[in-house]
């Protein structure tokens, strides 16, 4: 082990941090000093902490380590294999978890203070083994709530948006809230949905995520409380394996204000995780469910690894890991290689 000498200027230089992580070396911070040592393997059975953000520096890393010191101890830190691949600094550390009951709240606080993402995992699904990812659509795979956008066309945008927000926080029964919101859409011409679909903003990083997973023979699906008009389009656009969502009833080219068939709710989403895992012969430890709202919690609990993405506080609290600031591609940082 050798001491790494860092002057005050270098503590704030992103390039210096990257250069300090030489091939097959790790760094540790103890009593105000950094030390470097060789590593023979990146495999370990300990909890790991992955942290990532834009142009991270030693000053920020020291701040994170000190802020988390009451809850966990950060040991050896190394560069993640995807470090800088998507324009972010990604580091992974071996840790000792001292107060697991305080971890979630502390991570949320520290992430917001430093505006970075941090995830602590006892187990990482393997990127190099077959896996399954089931994503929510609205406000996860895409950046909008489609029902709110349709409601704006009907002149009832604010009313429906308020109900959507309550439903996603878990304050309302999903089935009842969906029926009441869809009723507000009566009379909207189906042709007008096309303008929403054509301008549908994908969440940053989804293209990278799908590409990397597909290269490694993963299966990817959308399970959404939204609508087939958008979910089926997203499936085709991204080359996903499946899409499950609700069907808006139409008559004479307009929405009737009703849902046709059974509602895709939280329990149905969870069932789809099981069905797809069985269909593709994927073990539960290799199944990931990702979402942002209360109706995603059941499928996140059913999968071996549940990830919150730009989510409501309740979902961040219940998830195995949370992506707070980065794009969907950062799910790749949480997979073992």
Tally of structural domains, the chain: 2
Residue from 117, 136, 292, 296 carrying the catalytic annotation: 136
Is it the case that residue 154 has pLDDT exceeding 90?
A: no
Assess whether 97 and 191 both reside in one domain. no
Assess whether 137 and 95 both reside in one domain. no
Q: Residue 177: CB partners within 8 Å, gap ≥ 6?
A: 163, 164, 166, 167
Is it the case that residue 144 has pLDDT exceeding 70?
A: yes
Entry pTM: 0.94
138 annotated active-site: yes
Distance of alpha carbon 141 from alpha carbon 139, whole angstroms: 6
Name the nearest CA neighbour of 144 among 202, 209, 187, 205: 202
Assess whether 176 and 251 both reside in one domain. yes
Span 18-39, pLDDT tens digits: 999 877 899 999 989 999 998 8
Any domain includes 95 = yes
Show the domain range for 256: 132-334
Nearest-10 crossing angle of helices 174-183, 146-153: 30
Output the domain CATH number for residue 243: 3.40.50.1000
45 annotated active-site: no
Span 196-214, pLDDT tens digits: 999 999 999 999 999 999 9
Distance of alpha carbon 119 from alpha carbon 159, whole angstroms: 36
Any domain includes 127 = no
Mean pLDDT for the stretch of residues 226-246: 98
Assess whether 46 and 99 both reside in one domain. yes
Distance of alpha carbon 7 from alpha carbon 29, whole angstroms: 15
- pLDDT computed for residue 298 by the predictor: 98
Residue from 117, 138, 148, 296 carrying the catalytic annotation: 138
Percent of the chain with pLDDT over 90: 88
Assess whether 173 and 295 both reside in one domain. yes
Assess whether 302 and 175 both reside in one domain. yes
Assess whether 193 and 311 both reside in one domain. yes
- pLDDT computed for residue 238 by the predictor: 98
Percent of the chain with pLDDT over 70: 98
Distance of alpha carbon 202 from alpha carbon 216, whole angstroms: 22
Assess whether 50 and 190 both reside in one domain. no
pLDDT band at 40 (very low <50, low <70, confident <90, very high): low
Q: DSSP strand E in the chain: where?
A: 2-4, 25-30, 33-38, 48-53, 72-79, 89-97, 117-121, 132-135, 219-227, 242-251, 254-260, 287-291, 305-309, 321-323
Mean pLDDT for the stretch of residues 161-187: 89
Is it the case that residue 188 has pLDDT exceeding 80?
A: yes
Among 121, 147, 174, identify where a domain stops.
121
Assess whether 216 and 310 both reside in one domain. yes
Contact 270, 301 (CB under 8 A): yes
Assess whether 116 and 136 both reside in one domain. no
Output the domain CATH number for residue 46: 3.30.70.260
Distance of alpha carbon 332 from alpha carbon 335, whole angstroms: 5
- pLDDT computed for residue 241 by the predictor: 98
Distance of alpha carbon 103 from alpha carbon 32, whole angstroms: 23
Two structure tokens written together for 79: 């560069």
DSSP one-letter string for 168-194 = HTT-S-HHHHHHHHHHTTTT-BGGGHH
Among 101, 121, 141, identify where a domain stops.
121
Q: Residue 207: CB partners within 8 Å, gap ≥ 6?
A: 238
Is it the case that residue 53 has pLDDT exceeding 90?
A: yes
Distance of alpha carbon 182 from alpha carbon 164, whole angstroms: 11
């Amino acid at each position: 082990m050798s001491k790494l000498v860092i002057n005050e200027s270098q503590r704030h230089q992103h390039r210096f941090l990257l250069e300090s992580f030489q091939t097959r070396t790790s760094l540790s911070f103890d009593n105000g000093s950094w030390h470097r040592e060789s590593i023979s393997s990146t495999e370990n059975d300990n909890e790991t902490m992955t942290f990532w953000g834009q142009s991270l520096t030693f000053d920020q890393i020291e701040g994170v380590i000190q802020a988390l010191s009451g809850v966990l101890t950060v040991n050896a830190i190394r560069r993640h294999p995807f470090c800088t691949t998507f324009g972010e600094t990604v580091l992974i550390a071996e840790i000792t978890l001292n107060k697991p009951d305080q971890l979630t709240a502390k991570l949320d606080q520290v992430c917001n203070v430093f505006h970075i993402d941090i995830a602590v995992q006892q187990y990482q699904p393997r990127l190099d083994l077959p896996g399954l990812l089931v994503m929510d659509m609205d406000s996860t795979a895409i950046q909008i709530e489609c029902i709110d956008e349709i409601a704006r066309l009907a002149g009832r945008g604010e009313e429906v948006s308020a109900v959507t927000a309550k439903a996603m926080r878990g304050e309302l029964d999903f089935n009842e809230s969906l029926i009441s919101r869809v009723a507000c859409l009566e009379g909207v011409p189906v042709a007008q949905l096309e303008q929403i679909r054509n301008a549908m903003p994908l969440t940053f990083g989804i293209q990278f995520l799908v590409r990397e997973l597909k290269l490694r023979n993963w299966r990817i699906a959308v399970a959404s409380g939204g609508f087939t008009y958008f979910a089926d389009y997203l499936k085709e656009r991204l080359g996903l394996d499946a899409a499950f969502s609700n069907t808006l009833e139409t008559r004479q080219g307009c929405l009737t204000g009703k849902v046709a068939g059974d509602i895709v709710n939280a329990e149905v989403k969870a069932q789809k995780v099981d069905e797809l895992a069985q269909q593709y012969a994927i073990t539960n430890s290799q199944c990931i469910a990702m979402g942002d709202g209360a109706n995603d919690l059941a499928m996140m609990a059913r999968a071996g690894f549940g990830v919150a993405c730009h989510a409501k506080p309740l979902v961040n609290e219940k998830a195995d890991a949370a992506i707070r600031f980065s794009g969907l591609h950062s799910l790749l940082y949480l997979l073992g290689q």
